[in-house]
A and B are shown apart, each in its own frame.
Chain A
Amino acid sequence: MPVTGDNTPSKVSHTEHHITSIKTLSIVFGGLVFLTLLTVGTSRLDLGVMNVPVALLIAITKALLVVVIFMALRWDNKINAAIFAVGVLFVIVFISFILLDTMYRGDLSNTTKGTIMEMEAAEEALRAGERDLPPTEPPEPPGHEE
């Protein structure tokens, strides 16, 4: 297969689309395979709290390689990069604001104490306790006469 130099469009006359060279594509593919092996390797090690950040960092690097080179955002109209960036921004807002709720639910002083899990456990304990009590007479439904 012919290997052409980088950044050399074969035809400048009609279209000026960037043609990514086979060499560049092969190097990126090699890099992606290497990063896959790396993420499998690091997952075998116990990195403690760093397990998730390391795996995510490798995944983000791989995704960027695909977006920038394979999807050719690097040479593309900047509007497409902007569209993509806004999409990613929305995902970050989506995940971080949900986590603000689910991780810190109950931490604000004017709401219930404890996390949602603890509240559920407390409720469960309450229900278990009720079961041991003697049954109380249920109130008569209003408007129902014999």
Chain B
Amino acid sequence: MAHEHSNHPAHLHHHFVSSEQQFDAAKMGMWLFLVTEILLFSGLFVAYTVYRVWHPEVFAQSAELLSWRMGGLNTIVLLASSFTVALGIHFAQKDNKKALVINLVLTFLLALTFLVVKYFEYSSKFEHGIFPGANFAPHGISHGVDYAAYNVPFAAQFFSIYFVMTGIHGFHVLVGMGLFTWITIRAIRGDFSSEYYTPVEICGLYWHLVDIIWIFLFPLLYLI
């Protein structure tokens, strides 16, 4: 452990004793933030749970309208992006700048892929009058599915919950893309090394949490 005061590294702030302490403090702060994120989504999961317990058959029927293929594809995409972030941190720790940058760019592209798939999903719902809230009015027939048949009481609640939960999750993906743009630029600039890669680690933690939220959203909304 380095305790020198005369020869401390550029990234170390005055109020920390060592790089180690600074790293641990940043990480602990991030975990606290992640808990607030978990609690934010838990409110939405509670809304989902209550309505599902009250109307299980409506939720099971409404879920048929969501494409499990698209949802499953997006699950694999997000899992792959978690993998590339973890690899990025691995290479930052190994001082492999090139591999770090490649993995950060891959993560960004996978996040973009996720949102593109989500765009197609949303527009195919809007086409058939499936909107959140009072505008819910399913109509039309495509691929042999009569959307009007799904206009039963409380189906609107299912889709409102679907849009709000995936919408807030999608917003987190968008924020993640911004974060990865920022740390990719910094990585190219050579800010990170095995001595200092805190921002990569912190953004990685954020990204894994976004992945975990989707791990729950996918089966709950699309499958069961």
Interface residues of A, Cβ cutoff 8 Å to B:
10-11, 14-15, 17, 19-22, 25-26, 28-29, 32-33, 36, 39-40, 43, 51-52, 55-56, 58-59, 62-63, 66-67, 69-71, 76-77, 79-80, 83-84, 86-88, 90-91, 94-95, 98-99, 102-103, 117
Contact = CB atoms under 8 A, between A and B. Distances in A.
Interface string B213-224: 001101110011
A14 B197 CA distance: 14
Contacts of B80: 29
A91 B94 contact: no
Contacts of B45: 91, 95
Contact of B27 (A29, A62, A80, A94): A80
A99 B87 contact: no
29 contacts: A14-B2, A15-B194, A17-B23, A21-B90, A25-B90, A29-B82, A29-B83, A36-B72, A39-B223, A55-B219, A55-B223, A55-B224, A59-B220, A70-B204, A70-B211, A76-B27, A77-B28, A79-B28, A80-B27, A83-B28, A83-B35, A87-B35, A94-B39, A94-B42, A95-B42, A99-B49, A99-B53, A102-B50, A102-B54
Q: Is the interface of B mostly helix, strand, loop or mixed?
A: helix
B208 A70 contact: yes
Given A84-B34, A102-B54, A95 B46 contact: yes
| Highest count of chain A CB atoms <10 Å: which of B19, B72, B75 | B75
B195 A14 contact: yes
Given A39-B223, A55-B220, A70-B208, A84 B82 contact: no
Interface string B123-139: 00000000000000000
Given A20-B86, A80-B27, 5 more contacts: A39-B223, A62-B215, A83-B28, A86-B35, A88-B38
